[in-house]
Chain A
Amino acid sequence: AQKITQTQPGMFVQEKEAVTLDCTYDTSDPSYGLFWYKQPSSGEMIFLIYQGSYDQQNATEGRYSLNFQKARKSANLVISASQLGDSAMYFCAMREPSNTGKLIFGQGTTLQVKP
């Protein structure tokens, strides 16, 4: 069965520094998608970045980049130049290799940016 693991319940980072949030996944299917979402204290879920299993290059979106290591089954999120507004819960998710688009989520990592 597909599974997403986020081993860091909480992380701290100094403002303006970079931070890496870990995510490992487990699937036996060669075709899948990996996503990161941000959930601020207000509760909404904000899409950040997507990586397809066949994508040759790591995905980047502004200050967000995804460090995709297929052999290690990891999809870590890197946030560069952290800002106070980055303080939130971050979820890694995998799209099941089916025709549904259903997402399986990890348990999340709480990131706190210190001024």
Chain B
Amino acid sequence: DSGVTQTPKHLITATGQRVTLRCSPRSGDLSVYWYQQSLDQGLQFLIQYYNGEERAKGNILERFSAQQFPDLHSELNLSSLELGDSALYFCASSVDVLTEAFFGQGTRLTVV
């Protein structure tokens, strides 16, 4: 167990819908990262927050947004879902930007 908790583990939803993925980082970790893993794109960095503030943005679509709350948990919001958004979404956390990141078990999103 990495100490990073992601909910839900599985999510099935229809095209056009909106979903929220939740992540609780390891205790003491200030940095939260979101990654998307798909068969065609591999593991892609989406966005990072550090102590409540956005630190870096990667290949994140405009339909996607995220935030980190004062208690350091983070949410990834995916809207106007398309079939191609089906993927495994990982949250990871680290103490700071120089230490190793520990990953949650992921949320498997299926858009039908």
Contacts and interface: CB of A to CB of B under 8 A. Distances in A.
Interface in B68-112: 88, 90, 92, 94, 96-106, 108
Interface stretch (A19-27, A39-47, A80-88): A39-47
Interface of B is mostly: strand
A35 B43 CA distance: 14
Interface residues of A, number: 23
B100 A100 contact: no
Contacts, number: 60
A56 interface: no
B105 A103 contact: no
B42 A37 contact: no
B103 A47 contact: yes
A103 B99 CA distance: 11
Interface of B: 2, 31, 33, 35, 42-43, 45, 48, 55-56, 58, 88, 90, 92, 94, 96-106, 108
Q: Which 9 A-B pairs have the closest CB atoms?
A: A101-B97, A45-B103, A100-B56, A105-B43, A44-B105, A102-B45, A50-B100, A47-B100, A102-B56
Interface of A: 33, 35, 37, 42-47, 50, 91, 93, 98-108
